[in-house]
Amino acid sequence: MKIYNTLTRQKETFVPIEPGKVKMYVCGPTVYNLIHIGNARPMIVFDTVRRYFEYKGYKVDYVSNFTDVDDKIIKEAILENKPAAEISEHYINECKKDMAGMNIEPATKNPRATQEISGMIDMIQTLIDTGHAYEKNGTVYYRTRSFPGYGKLSHKNIDDLEPGHRDEKHALKVDGAGEKEDPLDFVLWKPKKEGEPFWKSPWSEGRPGWHIECSVMARRYLGNTIDIHAGGEDLVFPHHENEIAQSEAANGVPFAHYWMHNAFLNINNKKMSKSLGNFFTVRDISRRYDLQVLRFFMLSAQYRSPINFSDELMESAKVGLDRIRTAVTHLNEILADAPDTPATPSEQEKLTEAGKFTEAFETAMDDDFNTADAITAVFELVRFANMNADEGSTKAFAGGLKEQILKLTGVLGIDAEIEEGLLDDAVEKLIEERQAARRAKNYKRADEIRDELAGKGIILEDTREGVRWKRA
């Protein structure tokens, strides 16, 4: 298995620290809002990476944090006139609902920054004791030039760095920045301002900087050295660079062997932003599509290529997913009446031949998780099944093909098997019929249809814009 490692800028063969195990840390969202479809990309991509490792027989320890202390959360708390903890709690719960809709496997552990403060204080103290950090008026700074490897992940030369830039994303700017020994130094702890949440520390009543939380949570739940650390490409600098500086200075060993970064999702070839009015939350999309379609769309590109979100591409993802589901539904129909006899010799040959699609799938995934090519292999398998299975097939044959489709789509986190007659098209036809019944004041029939759909796990929601539906 090869993984592109941002640290070495090369595809490298994956060698785990412990045979058969993968320790993986993925930077999670800051919870001050519903997650947007950009945030969904690393969630889906790295969940698929995890599933592929599991398919290959590894046990994966998957840790992903929630950043629940941050200037943006505090700002939102002031705006809504609620405690910051209530804001983050609310959005963590909403985020988990979206993740379930996108079929993200629950993490082994979802630590929250606010519950890890004492570990952060310990690590900051170690950094002070070893000369890697210093305190000025209640603020603690990391002495960036004290870490010889600084810049190795982002491939930046320390002398070319522009001081302080981009740290604004997570608003680590502090008053009196002039008190830093060096403009490159970054904040590990900062004193509270009036009305802000705070924790006691040896330096001041205050709160941690953003970078220290991931160093501490990765160490606590996975150990000093982990296999894979992942996140979106905007995190390479300064966040991950700073994590390396903190962890390696404090622990004295390499932090992560492989660093993986997903490219960005754009909308109609533009950066997604609220001010451009092209900003979608996962919740917005869930009102228009089954979130499995969003997942399938996200995996239609290799994770290191930018992906463009548009209505046309979502429609084509929906058509593609339907094609797979239709094939499985058809196989189920065949299976219902097929004779329960062993596969015939020619069927046996075909099943062996179909193995080449699994091989192609694995070759694609082994090459730095090329889900785009892996999906192509699934489509080819589906076409093969459509061409070769029919009413005359044995259970062993139709069942073998179905199992193979489900195995591969399962790695992608896609549910290919849905109840008979419940393809999107069928649902939409029933909804139309229900609307027609209501217009004709035939409420009995309208209710029957609602119940029939409910029985098959389809939930209807009447809104001003019409009827929306989703799978339970």
Residues that bind Zn ion (CB under 5 A): 27, 214
Grouping H, G, I as helix, E, B as strand and the rest as coil, residue 233 is helix
Interacting residue with ligand AMP among 231, 320, 400, 413 (CB under 6 A): 231
What mask, x for binding ligand AMP by CB under 6 A, covers residues 70 to 89?
A: --------------------
Q: Roughly what angle, to the nearest 10 degrees, separates helices 241-251 and 210-222?
A: 50
Structure tokens at 230: 């992942």
User: Are residues 189 and 206 in contact, defined by beta-carbon separation less than 8 angstroms?
Assistant: yes
Tell me the torsion sign for CA atoms 416, 418, 420, 421. negative
9-45 burial, b if ≥16 CB within 10 A, otherwise e? eeeeebebeeeeebbbbbbbbbbbbbbbbbbbbbbbb
- By CB under 6 A, the residues from 286 to 325 that bind ligand AMP are none
Q: State the nearest-atom distance from the C-beta of 262 to ligand AMP, in Å.
A: 6
User: Are residues 142 and 245 in contact, defined by beta-carbon separation less than 8 angstroms?
Assistant: yes
Grouping H, G, I as helix, E, B as strand and the rest as coil, residue 374 is helix
Q: Based on CB atoms, which residue is closest to ligand AMP, 85 or 272? A: 272
Part of the chain binding ligand AMP (CB under 6 A), chosen from 73-81, 129-137, 230-238, 324-332? 230-238
Does residue 29 interact with ligand AMP by CB under 6 A? yes
> 438: buried, middle or exposed (CB in 10 Å: 19+, 13-18, 0-12)?
middle
Q: Based on CB atoms, which residue is closest to Zn ion, 241 or 347? A: 241
- Tracing tokens 């490159």 back to the chain, one arrives at 184
Does residue 279 interact with ligand AMP by CB under 6 A? no
Q: State the nearest-atom distance from the C-beta of 235 to Zn ion, in Å.
A: 6
Q: Which of 423, 416, 421 is nearest to 402 (CA)?
A: 416
Does residue 206 interact with ligand AMP by CB under 6 A? no
Contacts (Cβ under 8 Å, ≥6 apart) of 18: none
Tell me how long the chain is: 472
Q: Based on CB atoms, which residue is closest to Zn ion, 22 or 214? A: 214
Q: Based on CB atoms, which residue is closest to ligand AMP, 39 or 286? A: 39
- Tell me the one-letter amino acid at 357: F
Q: State the nearest-atom distance from the C-beta of 192 to Zn ion, in Å.
A: 22
Contacts (Cβ under 8 Å, ≥6 apart) of 439: none
User: Distance of alpha carbon 360 from its chain centroid, rounded?
Assistant: 24
Q: Based on CB atoms, which residue is closest to ligand AMP, 214 or 418? A: 214
User: Are residues 259 and 7 in contact, defined by beta-carbon separation less than 8 angstroms?
Assistant: yes
Part of the chain binding ligand AMP (CB under 6 A), chosen from 48-56, 262-270, 408-416, 446-454? 262-270
Q: Based on CB atoms, which residue is closest to ligand AMP, 101 or 232? A: 232
User: Are residues 299 and 371 in contact, defined by beta-carbon separation less than 8 angstroms?
Assistant: yes
Q: State the nearest-atom distance from the C-beta of 195 to Zn ion, in Å.
A: 26
User: Are residues 439 and 341 in contact, defined by beta-carbon separation less than 8 angstroms?
Assistant: no
- By CB under 6 A, the residues from 36 to 55 that bind ligand AMP are 38-39, 41-42
Residue 34 binds which of Zn ion, ligand AMP, none (CB < 5-8 A, kind-dependent): none
- By CB under 6 A, the residues from 148 to 187 that bind ligand AMP are none
Part of the chain binding ligand AMP (CB under 6 A), chosen from 111-119, 156-164, 260-268, 288-296? 260-268
Interacting residue with ligand AMP among 55, 134, 264, 379 (CB under 6 A): 264
Does residue 265 interact with ligand AMP by CB under 6 A? yes
Grouping H, G, I as helix, E, B as strand and the rest as coil, residue 66 is strand
Q: State the nearest-atom distance from the C-beta of 394 to ligand AMP, in Å.
A: 46
Q: State the nearest-atom distance from the C-beta of 42 to ligand AMP, in Å.
A: 4
Does residue 399 interact with ligand AMP by CB under 6 A? no
Q: Based on CB atoms, which residue is closest to ligand AMP, 46 or 150? A: 46
Q: Based on CB atoms, which residue is closest to ligand AMP, 295 or 402? A: 295
Residue 214 binds which of ligand AMP, Zn ion, none (CB < 5-8 A, kind-dependent): Zn ion
Q: State the nearest-atom distance from the C-beta of 342 to ligand AMP, in Å.
A: 49
Q: Which of 247, 228, 257 is nearest to 22 (CA)?
A: 228
Give the span between the Cα atoms of 323 and 321, in whole angstroms.
Answer: 5
Residue 234 binds which of ligand AMP, Zn ion, none (CB < 5-8 A, kind-dependent): ligand AMP
Does residue 27 interact with ligand AMP by CB under 6 A? yes
SS3 content of the chain, % helix, strand, coil (to 5): 50, 15, 35
Residues at the contact surface with ligand AMP, assessed by CB under 6 A: 27, 29-30, 38-39, 41-42, 231-232, 234-235, 262, 264-265, 272
